[in-house]
């Protein structure tokens, strides 16, 4: 595949991303309608017009930015179609497949109407809208897993392995945990097979995500005073900086302060800057916000990497994700009358 061509197109797409001044302009708008008016002057115009047929207000914005995100990711996949790079990028986008499969399984378990389940799907991954609709049409959890297996979707494997336990306990946690861990294990095992620069970039991003997921688990386990031994099984392997033992030691401290102290020698020492009041109140969302910002910043910083590598598409994916999240935060906060100061704090500042 010609990286020079693909990355030039992606850089062109990046140039159309909304910068900080535009977000500031949106923050200064008095209501959702004026935010829509401003967004209609950007690349979101087409999706806003399409969403405007069915939705209005905040829903119109949310549907439009969600569809725009899906369209952008599909466009990138279209640029690199056919090569090894497509498989690598698909690994990143498969997180949406995991999320969609989990949503369908959850919906089927409670017999939610198909239309309600379909409304909650984001076809940004490998499974397109048609495939997801077909999955939603299945009568039950077993049929969904069978269909995934028939299509050769790798996520059918952990689901099939754990279905027996699920059918005995009727606990969706069994299947969800299996598919969540499989996503990272499967991706890392594929990346291990070849030692290229592209593989290294994707692996680095995935390992960061594993670390962040593990840290979130540690903080939540400490806050909920969960059984330490039980917590161990929720730690995902794959990171050398924060291995299972380190994570277990953090849990063993029993306090967030203790856990943060153990993070001092790692690259996650920035968490120590979280105000003490949040630490004392065990406000996990404050920790998550910092971790999310770290991940997004790391993703976007890939733009600074090798211009003839997968770093550019990866950087764009994260930049687009951050932009969409920031627009949603601004629109939601404006609709609910959240003060600007609080709104700015909620943003994924990049």
Q: Give 218-262 as a DSSP string.
A: HHHHHHTT--HHHHHTTPPP--SSS-HHHHHHHHHH-SHHHHHHH
Contact between 108 and 144 (Cβ < 8 Å): yes
State in angstroms the smallest separation of the CB of 246 from other proteins: 18
Q: Is 246 in the site for other proteins (CB under 8 A)?
A: no
Encoded tokens for 268: 């996650």
CB of 76 to other proteins, least distance (A): 20
- Residues near other proteins (CB under 8 A), total: 50
Contact set for other proteins, span 321-350 (CB under 8 A): 325, 328-329, 331-333, 336, 338, 346, 348
Q: In the bound complex, what is the minimum distance in angstroms from residue 82's beta carbon to other proteins? A: 31
Rounded to whole angstroms, the Cα distance separating 193 from 199 reads 9
CB 143 within 8 Å of CB 136: no
Q: Does 226 bind other proteins (CB under 8 A)?
A: yes
Nearer to other proteins, 1 or 112 (CB): 112
99 binds other proteins (CB under 8 A): yes
> 78: exposed, middle or buried (C-beta count within 10 Å: 0-12, 13-18, 19+)?
exposed
- Applying CB under 8 A, which of residues 119, 241, 245, 257 lies at the interface with other proteins? 119
Site string for other proteins, 58-97 (x = CB under 8 A): ----x---x-------------------------------
Stretch that binds other proteins, among 24-32, 43-51, 215-223, 245-253 (CB under 8 A): 215-223
Report in angstroms how near the CB of residue 215 gets to other proteins at its nearest.
11
SS3 assignment, position 16: coil
Q: Which residues of 205-239 are buried (b: 16+ CB within 10 A; e: fewer)?
A: bbbbbbbbbbbebbbbbbeeeeeeeebeebbbebb
Q: Which of residues 107 and 125 has its CB atom nearest to other proteins in the complex?
A: 107
Nearest to 73 by CA among 324, 329, 316, 350: 316
Half-sphere exposure (CA, 13 Å, Cβ side) for 58?
11
- Cβ proximity to other proteins: between 6 and 231 the closer is 231
Residues 251-310 that bind other proteins (CB under 8 A): 283-285, 287-289, 292
In angstroms, give the least distance from the CB of 173 to other proteins. Answer: 6
Whole-angstrom distance, CA of residue 259 vs CA of residue 193? 34
Q: How far is the CB of 108 from other proteins (least distance, A)?
A: 9
Q: CB-based burial of residue 322 (10 Å sphere; 0-12 exposed, 13-18 middle, 19+ buried)?
A: buried
Among 18, 88, 98, 136, binds other proteins (CB under 8 A): 98
CB of 328 to other proteins, least distance (A): 6
Confirm if 73 and 332 have CB atoms less than 8 A apart. Answer: no
Residues that bind other proteins (CB under 8 A): 62, 66, 98-99, 102-103, 106-107, 109-110, 112, 117, 119-122, 171-173, 176-177, 180-181, 213, 216-217, 219-221, 224, 226, 234, 236, 283-285, 287-289, 292, 325, 328-329, 331-333, 336, 338, 346, 348
């Amino acid at each position: 595949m010609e990286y020079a061509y693909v990355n030039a197109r992606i850089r062109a797409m990046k140039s159309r991303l909304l910068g900080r001044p535009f977000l500031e302009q949106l923050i200064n708008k008095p209501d959702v309608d004026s935010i829509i008016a401003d967004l209609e002057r950007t690349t979101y115009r087409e999706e806003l017009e399409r969403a405007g047929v069915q939705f209005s207000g905040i829903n119109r914005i949310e549907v439009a930015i969600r569809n725009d995100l899906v369209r952008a990711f599909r466009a990138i996949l279209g640029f690199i179609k056919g090569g090894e790079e497509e498989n690598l990028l698909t690994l990143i986008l498969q997180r949406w497949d995991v999320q969609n499969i989990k949503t369908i399984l959850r919906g089927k378990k409670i017999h939610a109407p198909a239309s309600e389940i379909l409304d909650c799907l984001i076809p940004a991954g490998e499974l397109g809208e048609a495939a997801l609709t077909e999955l939603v049409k299945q009568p039950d959890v077993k049929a969904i897993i069978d269909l995934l297996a028939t299509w050769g979707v790798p996520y059918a494997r952990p689901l099939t392995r754990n279905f027996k336990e699920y059918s005995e306990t009727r606990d969706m946690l069994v299947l969800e945990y299996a598919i969540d861990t499989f996503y990272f294990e499967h991706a890392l095992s594929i990346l291990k097979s070849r030692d290229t620069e592209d593989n290294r970039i994707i692996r680095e991003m995935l390992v960061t995500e594993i670390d962040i997921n593990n840290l979130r688990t540690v903080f939540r386990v400490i806050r909920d005073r969960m059984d330490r031994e039980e917590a161990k099984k929720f730690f995902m392997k794959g990171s050398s900086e924060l291995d299972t033992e380190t994570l277990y030691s953090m849990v063993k401290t029993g306090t967030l302060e203790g856990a943060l102290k153990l993070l001092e020698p790692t690259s996650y020492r920035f968490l120590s800057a979280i105000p003490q009041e949040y630490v004392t109140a065990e406000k996990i969302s404050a920790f998550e916000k910092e971790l999310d910002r770290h991940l997004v910043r790391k993703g976007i910083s890939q733009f600074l990497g090798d211009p003839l590598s997968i770093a550019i598409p990866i950087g764009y994916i994260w930049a687009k994700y951050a932009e969409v999240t920031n627009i949603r935060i601004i629109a939601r906060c404006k609709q609910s009358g959240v003060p600007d100061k609080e709104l700015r704090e909620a943003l994924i500042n990049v």
